[in-house]
Amino acid sequence: MDKENTCVYVKHACKSYGAKQVLNNFSMTVPKGVIYGLLGASGCGKTTLLSCIVGRKKIESGEVWVLGGTPGTPGSKVPGPKIGYMPQDVALVAEFTIRDALFYFGRVFRMQDKDIESRLNELTVLLDLPPQNRYVGDCSGGQQRRVSFAVALLNNPQLLILDEPTVGLDPVLRDRIWNYLVELAEDRQVTIIITTHYIEETRQAHKIGLMREGRLLAEESPSKLLRDFGTETLEEVFLILSQKQSEGKLEQFQNNLNNHDINGIYPADSEANSINSIGVSSTNLVSQKRKKKYVAPKLFNTFRLKALFDKNWKQFHRNVSGLMFMIFFPCLQMCAFLTAVGGDIKNINIAIVNEENNFSPCKDYLVNETAIYNASEDLCEYQRLGCRFLEAVNTSMMHHIYYNDIDSAIHDIKRGKVTGALHIHKNFSYALEQKVQNAGNMTDEELEDTQIMKGGLVVITVLIFLQGLCGISYGFLISVFCSDHNSANILSTGVFYPMILTCGLVWPIESMPTVLRWISLCLPFTVPILSVRNVLKKGWGMTHLHVLNGVGLEILWCVILGTISAYQLKKRR
């Protein structure tokens, strides 16, 4: 056997989850066009190994070589359409019908619709799938697994990796599937790695690997194993090897067996055999990989784009409650929030001390009489402007209570009878007139500061866009850390509400204890909200320090959240 005929090659692979070592110096060789049955008890590391082979996880040391490349590296095309992978956990969209699911993956694999259609019909018969218009969510667990199996077979991949595909299947169907797999391997040279708990069903495999506690105990054809061990069943072979491993005599036992076998099929001695038998050293494998020219994948792929649009549309319109929740719940939340905290103040008692109108309500006052044009001096003379001012603020917000002197008004403020006092001096109109006439002496900057709502649209758009990006980064972080919807919901609402409460919208940050104020200022909402206010109310531009700090903080948060997510993603592999 040479490298041309080797499909998957694993050498001295080690992989741990925390302190638990799952792959322990694991080695295996899978030639092209064979069915390789990977057998082992629950928890021995089969799924972990398969995940490393398809590039979903990374080994810590050792080497994995699949279809001529290292899985998960640029240019290796693994994962990719050359590999059909049926994972143990069904990962299908519940809102899809069986037909939708196969069309979705077919398009992802860049298949033409007519080819998908004919494969769908073929696989429906082979795997005894339920009617094509049945929703995945309405299928039983076993039926969903068969749909997942159909997806793995859909585009006729060169390498099929099946994690317990036959579990819970009717024996007749199981037999049919095995016959199909044998046909695929022998007629079309497809390589198949299959894990199963039914040891005896792997008699049809060309080669089996017996795995225990992260190590391969033996790797050979079932008939040869039975012959070498002189047993009736593969179960017995596995039992003997497992007992030797438990007694710590496995390596000695394997060496004895290999001494009687020129091929050296038992892994204690298999390193030399494996490497030599595929006719290439690991260094050569690496250099061979390096020689391959890396072709970057296309940024826009119309097949995938179509598949994703179709998937999102179906997911949305078939999950009405989810759609309502996603669209209307945030609107409802925002309306409730703004109604509760953003409304105008109403009916507050204000003490009015209006010296200009003899401390009494402005009953007989007329707006026209407050400004009289003096033609000889070409200017306006003002009177009773206090009344005009009070009329302007005499809304439902303030309830006016008149006082004859400011001291009694202040006294009542202290007693809590009124909330505040407005003191209009006797010469209020004259003083205001002077101020207006001197307005020409004001600087441009002072004038600009008095303007409202002059904020630049671009700056506001940038701030809001960055805020959205921050939210997306946080959503990404949640998706990386949470394994289910419940924990994702708890994490998102658990963080969102405290941030809303402490960002200054509800409780002014100026009144917070110092430590809390600093925490609040570091949160992604607080400073950007102040920046938006500064832009809207004062017309400040991007270059103003108190706008720039909001932009800077949002970028910083995006970078922090993105980096943590990327780190966690890398760690999980």
Tell me, residue by residue from 69 to 108, as one string, x for binding to ligand ATP by CB under 6 A and - for no binding.
-------------------x--------------------
Instruction: State both tokens at 554.
Output: 């949002």
**46 interacts with ligand ATP by CB under 6 A:** yes
Q: Tell me which residue of 69, 6, 26, 58 sits closest to 219, measured CA to CA.
A: 26
Indicate the residue among 241 and 523 with the shorter CB distance to ligand ATP.
241
Indicate the residue among 62 and 68 with the shorter CB distance to ligand ATP.
62
**565 interacts with ligand ATP by CB under 6 A:** no
109 beta partners: none
**42 interacts with ligand ATP by CB under 6 A:** yes
> Residue 20 CB, nearest distance to ligand ATP (Å)?
6
3-state secondary structure of 420: strand
3-state secondary structure 104-171: HHHHHCCCCHHHHHHHHHHHHHHCCCCCCCCEHHHCCHHHHHHHHHHHHHCCCCCEEEEECCCCCCCH
Q: Tell me which residue of 36, 42, 40 sits closest to 9, measured CA to CA.
A: 36
Binding to ligand ATP (CB under 6 A) within 358-377 occurs at none
**44 interacts with ligand ATP by CB under 6 A:** yes
> Residue 330 CB, nearest distance to ligand ATP (Å)?
33
Total residues contacting ligand ATP by CB under 6 A comes to 11
Q: Tell me which residue of 102, 171, 92, 85 sits closest to 139, measured CA to CA.
A: 92
> Residue 144 CB, nearest distance to ligand ATP (Å)?
17
Stretch that binds ligand ATP, among 41-49, 237-245, 359-367, 539-547 (CB under 6 A): 41-49
Angstrom distance (rounded) from CA 255 to CA 398: 96
Residues in the chain, total: 573
**45 interacts with ligand ATP by CB under 6 A:** yes
**43 interacts with ligand ATP by CB under 6 A:** yes
Binding to ligand ATP (CB under 6 A) within 375-414 occurs at none
Angstrom distance (rounded) from CA 291 to CA 287: 6
Binding to ligand ATP (CB under 6 A) within 1-30 occurs at 17, 22
3-state secondary structure of 11: strand
Angstrom distance (rounded) from CA 545 to CA 131: 64
Stretch that binds ligand ATP, among 46-54, 184-192, 335-343, 393-401 (CB under 6 A): 46-54
> Residue 156 CB, nearest distance to ligand ATP (Å)?
26
Stretch that binds ligand ATP, among 37-45, 60-68, 289-297, 316-324 (CB under 6 A): 37-45
> Residue 550 CB, nearest distance to ligand ATP (Å)?
39
Stretch that binds ligand ATP, among 36-44, 127-135, 348-356, 507-515 (CB under 6 A): 36-44
**196 interacts with ligand ATP by CB under 6 A:** no
Binding to ligand ATP (CB under 6 A) within 438-497 occurs at none
**47 interacts with ligand ATP by CB under 6 A:** yes
**48 interacts with ligand ATP by CB under 6 A:** yes
Stretch that binds ligand ATP, among 40-48, 377-385, 403-411, 542-550 (CB under 6 A): 40-48
Angstrom distance (rounded) from CA 99 to CA 105: 10
> Residue 40 CB, nearest distance to ligand ATP (Å)?
6
3-state secondary structure of 365: coil
Stretch that binds ligand ATP, among 39-47, 154-162, 251-259, 290-298 (CB under 6 A): 39-47
Binding to ligand ATP (CB under 6 A) within 215-274 occurs at none
Q: Tell me which residue of 131, 108, 112, 136 sits closest to 121, measured CA to CA.
A: 131
461 beta partners: none
DSSP letter at 201? G
CB burial of 1-39 (b: ≥16 within 10 Å; e: otherwise) equals eeeeebbbbbbebebeeeeeebbbbbbbbbbbbbbbbbb
Q: List the helix and strand counts (H, then E) for the chain.
A: 21, 14
Indicate the residue among 202 and 429 with the shorter CB distance to ligand ATP.
202
**313 interacts with ligand ATP by CB under 6 A:** no
3-state secondary structure of 354: strand
> Which residues lie near ligand ATP (CB under 6 A)?
17, 22, 40, 42-48, 88
